[in-house]
Structure 1
Amino acid sequence: MKNAIRQILQLPAVATALALLAPAQAQTWPSKPVRMVASFPPGTPGDLIARLIQPALQAAWKQPVIVENKPGAGGNIAAGEVAQARDEHTLLVGPDTVLTINPHLYKKLGFDLRQSLKPVTYFASFNQMLVCNPASGVNTLARFTQLPAGNTYASGGPGTPSHMAMEMLLAATGTRQTHVPYKGPGPAAQDVLAGHVGCGFIVSSVVLPHVQSSRLLAVAVSSKERSVLLPAVPTVAESGHAGFDATFFETLMAPASLPAAVTEKIQRDVRAALMAPAIKARLAEMDLRVEAGTPQESEKRSREDFAKWGMIARQTQLQLD
């Protein structure tokens, strides 16, 4: 039977019809409103990017684009909804950690994140900024690593970029601190500002205004390169831990069943929206660097970071369910 099917598919007429089908799918998509389900609260980078490019996508697709926030469980609530929707018009917006970190931390989801979802494109890269309340007296990474083991640090939630960047840092420095998770980077930053928690590794776009106003001290950034908005703040690697790189990506994801031609169309349209000068400038103001790579480039990066964060999860023996 398999041989017979293979022979049929090799017939010139059938091969031609299949070759024409994929472009036709892309030409007719979307046929109804498109939902972009954001996995973190309003005001977080992915949510902001989705809303910034929403008008351009509506114009390109000639359909309404609806951004909905479904935060919780490190992005898994939104991811589960999109994965189980199996709908060509339902997409997921969130950090790449949904595909690169969560599969290592959540073993009882009832579905396989990496089998159910795929990256369409990486919107933009972003880093975490290690910030401390001025009253803490911590203004260098060396001073931070000297804090006692009972010291607490704030993050945007279990398994989020801020949590994992800090776990990576603690593993690299051989130190331990107590994790205080919050429901998003905004509340985490507020408690560091209030002095309830001394420090936190928090997404730079959220803490940037507080650093610029001197209400928070910026100690280091998690990525390989310094922030162009705060060039005086060193990277963790420059602060004595060579090779440290905790760069993250706000990502557009889709059900794995989304046809390749449609996936590529979405990526091209998203890239065009992100490359508009006004959008690029607005993202730069939030310390976000536009990426907008192809689905193939995004999948390659996802595989590499999945392996990297798997090693960190094993080293720290971290599991969240």
Structure 2
Amino acid sequence: MIVPYVAGGAADITARVMAAHMTKDLGATVVVENKPGANGMIGTDMVAKAAPDGYTLLMGTVSTHAINQSVYGKLPYDPVKDFVPVTLVIPVPNILELNPKFADKHGIRTVADLIKYLKANPNSVNMASTGNGTSTHLSGELFQTMTGTQMTHVPYKGSSPALTDVMAGSADLIFDNLPSSMAFLKSGKLRPLAVTGSQRSPALPDVPTMAEAGVAGYDASSWFGLLAPAGTPPAVVDKIQRDVAAALQLPAVRAQLQAQGATPSGNTPDQFKQFMAQETAKWAEVVKKSGAKVD
């Protein structure tokens, strides 16, 4: 299973949870390989060009299959033609979180406090992201567009280095995938202000949604799903989907993922295909409004 991002991020965490249980169900060892680079495009392209025999899968993301085609002028792969959808593993919100010392210094306790500070100090706040054109980047761009604020975007190569710098104070805040931030939120090393989905996360029930916090209509969630190279036999795809869906119903797996702020899915290949088409249209509009396109 190829993860097109660095170890320690939400895609990697999700892949390793699933690989452990797929190994039991499929009767063959499922190995997770991290192939990061170019906002997921390097690892994704590797899978696009792999043999369609069911032995190479991609842990695809909102970036690799719904955002990159709008952000970048040309991709090395076609997110629709080069892949067969297997199943959506988890949808997961991003979370707006701050360096606690920065928040305390400027009296920022709520989203309203942050907006007030940003309007009084345009471009003075460093907003980290997991890379140009990622959902963490575009979540921030959408926030700025909807609130009339301006921050300085600082892209990193994945969640781990971005979170390290936010916690160290080199950057002030980040919109990160919830699974990769959960441990730091629980320990108090990061301070949450709002989740970016339409509903509160069961893992952080006291943290409001962005809409509840005053930014009406805001919704910018991430997701992770399995895809296979185009041409993979339908019977093989269906077998993998059934095994993954069954694993996602196991109490131990659900507990692991829910503890990270995720909601297990396991939908059908057709449902996942329709979901990705809807997501592609939604994020294309966000990219258009934010001007986040990279030539």
Determine which of 38, 42, 57 is the counterpart of 1:77.
Answer: 42
Find the structure with the greater CA-based Rg: 1
> Is 1:284 aligned with 2:254?
no
Aligned to 1:130: 96
Q: Distance in 1 between matches of 2:174 and 2:241?
A: 34
Q: CA deviation at 1:290?
A: 0.3
Aligned to 2:113: 143
What does the per-residue CA deviation read over 1:115-141, in whole Å, with 9 as the maximum and x for residues that have no partner?
A: 212321111121111111122232211
Contact 2:13 2:179 in 1 (8 A): no
Q: Distance in 2 between matches of 1:126 and 1:91?
A: 20
How large is the RMSD of aligned CA atoms in angstroms? 1.6
Q: CA deviation at 1:54?
A: 2.2
Aligned to 2:15: 50
Q: Distance in 2 between matches of 1:268 and 1:185?
A: 30
What does the per-residue CA deviation read over 1:81-101, in whole Å, with 9 as the maximum and x for residues that have no partner?
A: 011124322110132321110
Secondary structure of the 1:101 match is helix
Contact 1:103 1:114 in 2 (8 A): no
Aligned to 1:111: 77
Q: Distance in 2 between matches of 1:55 and 1:241?
A: 39
Secondary structure of the 1:119 match is strand
> Is 1:155 aligned with 2:120?
no
Q: Distance in 2 between matches of 1:297 and 1:75?
A: 23
Contact 2:133 2:292 in 1 (8 A): no
Aligned to 1:192: 166
Q: Distance in 2 between matches of 1:259 and 1:265?
A: 10
Q: Which moved more, 1:184-193 or 1:56-65?
A: 56-65
Contact 1:156 1:185 in 2 (8 A): yes
Q: Distance in 2 between matches of 1:94 and 1:43?
A: 16
Q: Any unmatched runs of 5+ in structure 2?
A: none
Aligned to 2:148: 174
Identity %: 37
What does the per-residue CA deviation read over 1:124-176, in whole Å, with 9 as the maximum and x for residues that have no partner?
A: 12111111112223221122223122221011111222111111211211222
Aligned to 1:59: 24
Which amino acid in 2 is paired with 1:155?
A: S
Q: CA deviation at 1:310?
A: 0.3
Aligned to 1:308: 282
TM, length-normalised to structure 2: 0.91
Q: CA deviation at 1:78?
A: 0.7
The 1:140–1:55 alpha-carbon spacing in structure 2 relative to 1, beyond 3 Å, is closer
Aligned to 2:52: 87
Q: Which runs of 4+ in 1 moved over 4 A?
A: none
Q: Distance in 1 between matches of 2:202 and 2:29?
A: 35
Which amino acid in 2 is paired with 1:190?
A: T
Aligned to 1:18: none
Q: Distance in 2 between matches of 1:266 and 1:189?
A: 33
Secondary structure of the 1:90 match is coil
Q: CA deviation at 1:179?
A: 0.7
Secondary structure of the 1:283 match is helix
Q: Which moved more, 1:87-96 or 1:189-198?
A: 87-96
Q: Distance in 1 between matches of 2:156 and 2:169?
A: 15
Which amino acid in 2 is paired with 1:38?
A: V
Q: Distance in 1 between matches of 2:183 and 2:16?
A: 21
Contact 2:197 2:221 in 1 (8 A): yes
Secondary structure of the 2:274 match is helix
Aligned to 2:235: 261
Q: Distance in 1 between matches of 2:88 and 2:76?
A: 26
Q: Distance in 1 between matches of 2:207 and 2:24?
A: 40
Q: CA deviation at 1:225?
A: 0.9
Q: Which moved more, 1:146-155 or 1:280-289?
A: 146-155
Contact 2:10 2:178 in 1 (8 A): no
Secondary structure of the 1:267 match is helix
Secondary structure of the 1:202 match is strand
Q: Which moved more, 1:128-137 or 1:290-299?
A: 128-137
Higher relative contact order (CA closer than 8 Å, sequence separation 6+): 2
> Is 1:249 aligned with 2:219?
no
